[in-house]
Amino acid sequence: MQISIENLFFPINQKRSLRIDNWFLSEGKSALICGANGSGKSVFAQLLSGKLSSASGEIQFSRPDKLASVSFELEAEILAEDRYHNDSEFMEGGVDHGRVAREIIGNGENLTSICDLIGISYLLERPFKEISTGEARKVLIAKALIKSPELLILDEPLSGLDIKSRQEILELFNSLINQGVQLLLFDFYNEELPTSISHLVYLFEGNIVLEGPRKDVTQSSKWKTYTGFQIQLPHHLPDCYHYDQLDVDCPFVETVDLEVAYNGKMVFKDLNWVFKSGEHWRISGPNGSGKSTLLSMISGDNPKAYGKDITLFGIKRGSGESIWDIKQHFGILSSSLHRDYRVSVTLLEAVVSGFYDSIGLYDKPTESQWRIGKEWIELLGMKGREQTPFSALSFGEQRRVLIVRAVVKLPLILLLDEPCLGLDNKNRSLVLTLIDYIATHSRTHILFVSHDYRDELKCLNKSLEFVSGGDYYRAAISNIY
């Protein structure tokens, strides 16, 4: 399919616009479209997939109905539709599980072969809103492929996928290209992007600044100017007067033979885990192995924790403590928190809500809490945008804000579940540097989940890995040196 663009203009935010005067993609040519956070990548992807209409200018496709797309926004839309049609109030049992994966994917004669290829046949009857990040991504890819598109627009398709899934999807992309499907893959530039796509388009502050064969572009002198960055370590962390008065000799978390099952299917079993002072953990494992479940169980967010032998801060769960007593010791960032953060607050209010562990702001913060919030916002490079509505920020920007929200009270435990999803290389590096800094300069302990090979934290000294034990997963615990 040919694509031709003329005089395309779209405002990204108050200061920046996407501006593409002339662009042409020839028949059958795939391309990587890269750029940092705020470069206009997502806006461009949404304009191409029809989600947004341009303020002016034209995009012409030679065969517009042979186009399909995959993006975070799509996932959010599907969830919003399910929420709208939620019939819980009128159903026996009071729970509406929403559409299952099969319903999201849709119908097509190649349904079985696509699902086999992507490896999601096992979850077709599972509710879409209840599957893991990576699983949801795969379902969206299947949904796009079911229409046998000529052109596939992919907005960060690999984020949140475990190593195995990432390899599978990369192979899938390579084979699709061999079959003649055109891929337009939007992502932050990294070496892992499919090698079968050799054409690279680089966006910077809303304009196409570099374009050509990948090798040539990345080795050009201009490349360094556009992609180079330096991270400065903070002088000191914003001072937080509230310190956790907990007995440090008491383990934070202790589980005995912990197991979790959903609808009768066991996810993991026999988890005996002790998390003590001085430890920073990496939690890893395949998509759907129970990483997020485990973390939500100890942070007070998962009802599955009741009735299990879990001791938090010396108190056994189910002893009459409220989840708010537990949450005060945690600063949390996870995909489900991000999904649920749909309230109308400003950037600053979202950050300060971290002091109260709430989604939205329902208390009256003190002067020093506002001040500390602002200092953190500056540290993460977002000064001047405090009054921007949270919902108006891009996915990556929202992520950064939620990271700040998690750290703002310098919690005893910082629980980060795929924190760098949606962040470009510079911001990723900034966030990771900051986390390492926090770990070494405060009493905060880190619990970290990530599939991304680029996510290296020097502070991590323990590892919990979910490995396959046949019908369910088991945990392998070790030290990191």
Which residue ranges make up the site for another protein (CB under 8 A)? 84-95, 262-263, 300-301, 303-308, 320-325, 340, 343, 353, 356-364
Residue 94 vs 384, nearer CB to another protein: 94
Rank residues 226 and 355 by Cβ distance to another protein and give the closer one: 355
Report in angstroms how near the CB of residue 320 gets to another protein at its nearest. Answer: 5
Nearer to another protein, 168 or 259 (CB): 259
Tokens 């649920």 identify what position?
Answer: 340
Query: Of the two residues 46 and 299, which places its CB atom closer to another protein in the complex?
Result: 299
What phi and psi values does residue 198 have, to the nearest 5 degrees?
-105, -15
Q: Which is nearer to another protein, 307 or 470 (CB)?
A: 307
Q: How far is the CB of 402 from another protein (least distance, A)?
A: 14
Taking the least distance from each CB to another protein, the nearer of 116 and 340 is 340
Structure tokens at 348: 């600053």
Structure tokens at 87: 């019939």
**142 vs 345, beta carbon nearer another protein:** 345
Shortest reach from residue 6's CB to another protein, in Å: 26
For residues 439, 441, 443, 447, the Cα torsion angle rounded to the nearest 10 degrees is -10
- Residue 200 Cβ vs another protein, minimum distance, rounded to whole Å: 37
Report which secondary-structure segment, H or E, holds 46: helix 41-49
In angstroms, rounded to a whole number, what is the distance separating the alpha carbons of residues 332 and 324?
Answer: 13
| Interatomic CA distance for residues 415 and 448, integer angstroms | 6
Which residues is 416 bridged to in the sheet? 333, 448
Phi and psi, residue 305, nearest 5° = -70, -25
- Pick the closer one to another protein by CB: 178 or 319: 319
Inter-CA distances, 290 with 61, 132, 296, 348, 403, Å: 43, 9, 10, 33, 22
Kindly state the smallest distance separating residue 466's Cβ from another protein, in Å: 21
Residue with tokens 């026999």: 270
The phi, psi pair for 136, rounded to 5°, reads -65, -40
Compare residues 216 and 325 and give the one whose CB is closer to another protein: 325
Rounded to a whole number of angstroms, the minimum distance from the CB of residue 327 to another protein is: 9
For tokens 């509505």, the residue is 389
CB of residue 84 to another protein, shortest distance in Å: 7
At 268, list the tokens. Answer: 């993991």
- CB atoms under 10 Å from CB of 250, counted, come to 14
CB of 302 to another protein, least distance (A): 9
DSSP 282-320: EEE-STTSSHHHHHHHHHT--GGGTTS-EEETTEETTSS
Min separation Cβ 104 and another protein, Å: 19
Classified as helix, coil or strand, 58 is strand
